[in-house]
Structure 1
Amino acid sequence: MFAGLRSRKYLQRILLSLALFALFVLVVYSAFMYVTMRTAILKTLSEANEKVLSQVQYNVSYMDEIAKNMAMSLFFDNEVIPLLYGKSFDYADISFKLWKLDKIVDSSTYLHSITVYNAYTDKYISTYRPFQDNLNGEIASYEHQLAAYPEWPKLTMIPIQEKSGSGQMDGEEVPISYFSYVLYDQQGDTPGGKSKLILNVQASWLFNNIQNVNDLAYKQSNTLLLLADEGQLYAADRHAGETIPDALIARLQTSNTEFDSFTFGRGSDKSIVTLMPLGVQNWKIVNIQSYALALEPLANIQKTMLVSMLFFLLLSLALIFPISQRLYRPVERMVHQVKGSPSTEMAQGAADHDEWSYLSGVYTNLVQRVEQVKQHYSKNKSMIEHFHIHNLLTDSTHLTREGFEQWVTDRHAHMKPEGPFCVCALQIDGYKQRKVQMKGKENDLYVFAIGNITEELLAASCDCIWTYMGEGLFIFLVVPDDNGPGRELYGDAFSEAQRVIQSYYGLSVTLSLSTSVPSFVQITEAYLEARELIQYRMLYGYRAFITSERVAQHRNKRALESIPAQEKRIIEELKRGNSKQLTGQIELFFELSMQLSYAEFIQAVLHLTMATVGAIQDMNDVRLHPVRVELVHLHKEVMDKETIGEIKAIFLDLAARRVHDTESLTHKKTEMICGTIKDIIAENCADTEFYQQSAADMLKMSSAYLGRLFKQGTGQSFTEYLNDIRLSKALELLDSDHISINEVMEQCGYRSQSHFFKLFKIKYGTTPGEYRLKQIMKKQEKVQAEHS
């Protein structure tokens, strides 16, 4: 079974595809269910948190309302008013009233103490004995905490932290002891200077109430906190707020919604944070839950889903095998019909491919064979067709009328023996160079495209058949319709074909059009005329449209008679090496050649080529530096060109190289003479009687010629270069202090001191004396620097 499975690669693909599909469906379904359940759990948890926080908000608001009502009741109580505004106290009366206040505090589960401040006596009266005794500075600490509020808010919960005295370390965080509600009269300048009733609520009562609600709502560990305006966190456990990151506190402070829920942190520190306004001051109540504990039920569900997915995957794999075999049977039958037993022959013939690849290869092979047969048949038919067209073009004189009519019938052409007929030759320009660049069947593509494009453009004005003669030459046999346009209009169609071929294929083509002949017997004459006319591309250049009328002007006997004399002038100027005259004579030769027939032009160019080769060989035999021209290839290079412009460019390039060699030789001679003059100047510059004429006499040449030659070779005049050499030598002599300036002047070849000083200052910007002084100072500074 498994051996057969190894040979059935397409069956393996079916099995693998179905298995991957089943796995993909299960994974996507499981992921979707997991995300859906997680979203549902988080939504349910958020709603539960909102209810819990709403209950806490209600409890705190209820406590706040009770505390405010009691504070208002006591503030206007007749027993308390004397304590607030009395200017003197009867301590017996105060004790009784304080006893009543103690009873009120003892009867309440949430009250911490009641404190009265009398502004007239600047005394505090409190039911809280440590505060009343003020042994550890409780009053000062209390007033300091109230001073944090610029204007004490009336009947607003103010957190108070009370130090316990001896057991409290400096800098240690102190939990909230109670919340104060302060009530005072509106009269007066500042709240601090007024009599006040202070109702203190136990902080533990508030936090215990919040914790009880929290314990009833959640089984897992979570934290409920109060967030004040300034970012301070309060909780029953004073250490609960220490683990809250500053980034989370900042996020909580910026939240302005009625209810907000979000996740914060990563990994094991990830938490679900829920917050809601407390309803008292601008405080907020915050609930922080562990994300992992909150989603712990989801983890159990995830395990169950994983087990279920594995079960269904195994069940799917059990069902996939029979389904795959059923899907594979049609393919197996097809392979068996094509090649025999798939279990044996397929394993040998398609070891690296599956069954469909094998069937596809068989089908492709059959299609290719059919296509090759079609192409072979089409090519044979095309060759036979072109053979008959070639035969008509080259031997129409031996064709009978019945034979021509049968030829026309076989090709479904609209031709009559009476004609008229016209032959057009189309030549691809630069075909030899382009053929080298063509790849594969690119040439066949161009032949097909050019022939059919031209035939389609001619279809509107005449009937035509065409054939390809090879080497980029097409022949079109054109037969105008009985009522169709004249020869000029289908000549326009050929011109349009030139433009289209150039635009779409980047091919330049030249056309020639024969004169019309009245009978099919004269088709060969028209063909030979078109072939002869296309040769005049040599004179008219690329993209020309050549007709017999245009060629008729190339019969100028005077130009033909002038050619030998012009050729002689070219050879003479070539030997002289005169650039301008040689170029002009070549241009004139080709202007005269344009007036010749094609055969005369070819003869003239070949004769010029041979004369040029002979002249250069004669010059090279007697010259020390031969003219660098490849004479062996010159004749072939000229004959390979297709237009007169290309041939003329060869001779102009030859002239340029001839002149360049002459100029190069002249330049070398100039360099040699200038080098000799420089050597003479260096040797005789100290002679006061040495001038340009002296050097000219030594070299046996005129002074003017020597000066012109030296200027041409160096860019400096003889006198300028002589002065440069003399002044450079003066600079060297001035560096030594054992020779006077006059002696320096004489050794450098100068007679006049003023002339010497003038030239020295122009070149170096200073006088010889100043230069020597500066050099002496530099030497002294250098010596001092070395000693120091």
Structure 2
Amino acid sequence: MKVFGFYKSKKYLQRVLISIMLSLVIVLMASTLANTYILEKSVKSIQEESNLKVLTQFQYNFSYMNEVITHLSYFVIKDNLLIPLMFDDMLPKMDLIRGYQRMTNIMESSSFLHSMAIYNHSQNEIYGTTSNFLLDGGVTKKKIRDWLLDPSQPHLTSRLIPVNLEKEDGQIDTFAFIVTDSFKPFSSHESAIIFYIKSDWVFDSLKKMNVRSNRDQGDLLIADREGRLYSSKINNTYVNEVNSLRIQQMITSSNGDLKRPSGFVIGDIAGVKSMVTYLEDPIPDWTILYIQSYEKLMEDVTKTRVKSFGISGVFLLMAIGLSIWLSYKLYHPIEDMLKRIRDHTTGKSQPGLLEGDEFDVMSERYLKLSEKLHEISSEQIVNKYYIRKFLTDSQMYSHHDIVNLIEKHNLHISVRHEIRVCVLRIDHFMTYDRNTTASTKKMYSFAIVNIAQEIMIKAYPCEAVEVWGDHVVLIVSMCGSSTNAVSEQVVHLIREIQLTIGHYYGLSLSCGISDKISQLDHLSAGYTQALNNSLYKIIFGYRSIITTDAIKENLTNSLVSIPDIIERKLSEALKKGQMTEAGIELEKAFSLVTKFNYDDIHRAVNNLAWVIKNTALEIMDNRVSKFALNMDYIHHIPQEKETLEEMYLTLLSLCAKIIEGQRPGTTERNDLILETMKELIHQKYSDVNLGQQSIALTVKLSSAYIGKLFKESFKMTITEYINEVRLRHAQILLESGNHTVLEIMEKCGYSNPSYFFRLFKAKFGSTPKEYRMKKSIS
């Protein structure tokens, strides 16, 4: 009973179950019926095609048989021994004997002939060959005469006519074939030969087919033009006037106006549902019928249908069980929701006792809750509006006006005690804003406001409100304790708020706390101070709690920028690849920055970023190959990072990349510079102005740098190397040319003869003239 009561109370679940089960029943039953219908239709179509093939074969046998008998009749009617029996008025005895003998020979030569008779019009006499005809006292003769000369039923010639020659039960035992001199219907005014064909010969082909199929599928019948039925079977149940009329009506109704020569119909014959296949005109005015029991014909289909319904029933039971299980699984959230609704409403009535289903119950509860929520939210909207106005535009109100509004709206703000404003700012806000949906942001803001107010109000009257998307403001009334003790308690509660929000929502909050506020109309100033204090998390880091005392040194500091010497040393250390020196200078810079005002901090760090960027660009300009470094990102670092620690580590890492990027190309770069310098000296040695300074300008490096580099590489100064090159060229010209010493001096880049002579003598041990004279003598 409990289970039934549980089910009865779940009206929506009832509809779900009933709908699913009815759908399953309808689909499975429709599928089964469609399959069995298609199967039955296919079997009927196949059976019709098979039956028509049988009847077509039988039609062919009839046509062939009729052709054989026609050829025999043409031969017999012209037989000279039979002509006297047909036409003589006075028949001699010998002609009669010869005629009978001839008929006997014809009978013996044709296996399909049952008997044979000749009608002599002149004598009005019939001559026959069978023993019954001759010995039964004229009974057979009279039957032939009555049938042949019946004026009400003229017979067509040269075609098979079903007759009962010997049987008295109406069943055919022969087919008559009348032959005359003309092709007109037979009349008593002309002579004729009558052949009687065995009926077994006619039906033999179908019997053989039935034997080959290993089962008797039906009955073969022949209908004449009047609709009378003839069968080879004795006591065939279909051969009577009622069934003949019924079959004729079925075929006529099926054909309609089309008059199809073949086809099949299904209907009740003799109280049995039967399938009748028909084929017209195998011989003119005949119709061959093949009648089969529909029940036997569809026996396999019936068995298949029973099996199909059985299998469908099993699957239906399984599907119903599975649907009930799934329905209860899917219904489980709805049931949980109903339980929660009942737990949070005053009424404890069961859903089943109310009008409608579970959703009507939830709708009713929702409407009631939404009405209450609307009342509460309307009041809260007004309250939050005034709180925001107090924080942003308190100077617009007098102290008395603010007191009246607080009392009117029952705000948790004390009008007799000091107040502190706390700003809770979301850390990593750019990432939070970029990766959080609008609906989730609303949920987080709602959670922070309510949790912060709930925790703080345990110790002090408090109002919480979201002013902007990145921070929440608490107005805390400092009731009860001394100022220091109160401050410590507020810090403790703020820390609890941070831990709670971090644990449940994974958000990090930093907090700025204002100084005490004695006048309510100074709330805007307190909010601005708390908001500015919260910005100094750039120094203290994430989840910091910042008071004015903590940043007093920053607010009073007169230093606003980093000394140029630190920036210069940092740049030189980067150019020289000295990571330790670069790190020391960067650390000095950030040590000074931590004492700056907030605005000056950003400006100083931004300047540092530009110094590093410009140094990196200068280094890259002096390199053959560039190192992979995104220069555009450097000056965005102060805006993207929220703390000095993050900025310091990012810039330090950047310096390391710059120095590391120089090392693979240092040797290559120095070699290239040295080779360039040597090439310049060899090309411009004749230039009087060639010197270390001019070479430095050409390679765009400092004179001191290239002088030091050249000295370290070749163990001589650039000036010494220039003199070496000039003196070698002067030596060559003295040995091979006809130039004067002064001309050689000018060609080698010297303008002072005494300086040239002194250098030459120091190099070769004699003056230029003495050197030429020695070489000419030798």
The answer to whether the superposition gives a TM-score over 0.5 is: no
TM-score normalised per structure 1? 0.42
Task: Tell which structure's C-alpha radius of gyration is larger.
Answer: 2
